Amino acid sequence: MNTDTQNPLNWWQGAVIYQIYPRSFCDSNGDGIGDLNGITNKLDYVADLGVDGIWISPFFMSPMHDFGYDISDFRAVDPIFGTLVDFDTLLTKAHSLGLKVIIDQVYSHASTECAWFKESKKDKTNDKADWFVWADACADGGPPNNWQAVFAGPAWTWDASRKQYYMHNFLSEQPDLNLHNPDVQKEILSVAEFWLGRGVDGFRLDATNHYMHNPALIDNPAIENPNGVRPFDFQDQINNQSHPDIVSFLKRLRILLDSYGDKFTVAEVGGRRSLEEMAQYTAGDNLLNTAYSFIFLEEDTLSPNVIKKALSDWSEQTSSWPSWTFSNHDRQRVVSRWGNGANEKQFAKLMNTLLCSLRGTLFMYQGEELGLPHADIPFDRIVDPEALKNWPETLNRDGARSPIPWCEAGQDACWQENSWLPIDPRHFELNVADQEQDQNSSLNFTKDLLAFRKEHPSLIKGSIEFLDASQHLLSFKRTFGKDTVVCTFNLNDKEQAYSINPDAETCFRVGEYNNTQEILAAYSGVITKI
């Protein structure tokens, strides 16, 4: 797969963005919940990693039914996280350290506690009556169609005051905004302008393909041989989401962003047509900059073909700049999902090296630099609404959201006994303080990796070409100008033979390899310069 090697015009092309889940990053006031001041206190740590920016998950006013993705005031900071002044302080500190700041924006839905919804539900004639998706009951009193919510159950909830159903693609506490309404679009763009005016560097757009539905409210068709445990998985979501008019709204959003200079947008797009929709939302120069899907996050096994197919499918579908991530706050941590019993420290290093070798904008989730496995959360401490609704068939998201271990158990000034989620004892053994003192730690390895990456423009903005290799080896060439490197990874639990260019110079490695015998050990990798 060959791509152009023109010098990127924008800072975000080839950037590494560190995702911060604020509830679990650092608690500055001892209430058991991470906050904005906690993030500010640890920005030196983040900058020292060598990343280019941070993405902060929602910190807005919310009743926290979905832990911040149910927003009651889109322009306010929830008191558990701090204040707008605290956010401005964070922004100033990040910029002083050379870090860009990306924040989540949730435009597909709000909270039932949002003033807009409270007004909308009063009657069918108020100023915000059409700001959400309302529909009459069927003749038998049931919902207007068969649409199912992502987490569980129908995508409709009856409201007795308005005597209609309202639509929600997620929890019933997250009513869908009606972005078909020009007034709603205007308000959402005003929200975006509020945060752009404060100086943020861009947005991660949550659930972008959920922005608009089919106004005709037509039933979704069934899927043959569905793979899943939720009613949502039994349908083809062609009517409750992914309306063509989403593109027109994104163009309006892009015009606003461009008026503030070199801002960055990345869409989150899931579902059966994620690749096609990501291509639509990033086509040309008047839509979003990039998008990422759950292509790696939902893969249960890792193989060279998984990586090659994802990158090849993207380049065949679109010329837009890609984005990739192996972990986030919604999915199992990569060491547990793909490690298959491997040495976790070794595997964590391998996964970070592989991610940082791919062509695109890269997102590294907090704790991946420490090699954290998915936390084991006791059932009586689970708070994730999706897990509680589908227990035990779906792995709870809390395991990816447990607090970052800054120090050993009993010595951690950032987390006390009352932390909102418990810290897995295995995580305390991987704490930041100890890893900073260990030159062989995952943390220091990640710092070295990111420093090495910055020394090679081919890894940041170069083309990528997959090379022939054995079944379990992934090998590709990255080229930019005169800088060319070859990245070879053994993704198998057994050693593999591989061929070395006799003129190549080994410049970075993870794990063990034998140059003379051309043997790459299990879960190892080598980057050579030619």
C-alpha 25/C-alpha 416 separation (Å) is 13
Q: Which residue among the candidates 206, 330, 483, 495 is catalytic per the annotation?
A: 206
pTM of the prediction? 0.96
Using CB atoms within 10 Å of the CB of residue 411, give its burial: 0 to 12 exposed, 13 to 18 middle, 19+ buried: exposed
Task: Report pLDDT for 514.
Answer: 65
Task: Give the pLDDT of residue 229.
Answer: 78
Topology of the domain covering 16-109+182-451:
TIM Barrel (3.20.20)
Which CATH number among 2.60.40.1180, 3.90.1150.10, 3.40.50.1220, 2.60.40.10 corresponds to the domain 464-529? 2.60.40.1180
Nearest-5° angle of CA 221, CA 226, CA 232?
60
Query: Number of C-alpha atoms within 13 angstroms, CB side, residue 103?
Result: 27
Q: Give the residue carrying structure tokens 């970052």.
A: 404
* Sign of the torsion angle spanned by Cα atoms 367, 368, 371, 372: positive
pLDDT for res 481 = 94
Cite the beta strand spans of 426-521 per DSSP E. Answer: 463-466, 473-480, 483-490, 496-497, 505-510, 513-514, 519-520
Domain with CATH 2.60.40.1180 in the chain: 464-529
pLDDT at 2: 39
Q: What per-residue confidence (pLDDT) applies to 7? A: 53
Query: Bridge-partner residues for 488, per DSSP?
Result: 475, 526
Q: What's residue 516's pLDDT? A: 61
- Please name the residue that has the structure tokens 């204040």: 83
Could you identify the residue written with the tokens 């689970």? Answer: 382
- Regions of the chain short of the pLDDT cut 70: 1-8, 394-395, 412-413, 513-517
Q: Are 18 and 53 in contact (CB under 8 A)?
A: yes
Q: Assess whether 206 carries a catalytic annotation.
A: yes
pLDDT for 499 equals 80
| Residues in Cβ contact with 356 at an 8 Å cutoff, skipping those fewer than 6 apart | 16, 362, 449, 450, 453, 459
Question: Is-contact 518 499, C-beta < 8 A?
Answer: yes
Q: Which amino acid is at 471?
A: Q
Domain boundaries for CATH 3.20.20.80 within the chain: 16-109+182-451
268 is catalytic: yes
Question: For residue 443, which of 508, 507, 366, 355 has the smallest C-alpha distance?
Answer: 366
What contacts 195, CB < 8 A, 6 or more positions away? 103, 105, 203
Catalytic residue of the set 70, 176, 268, 386: 268
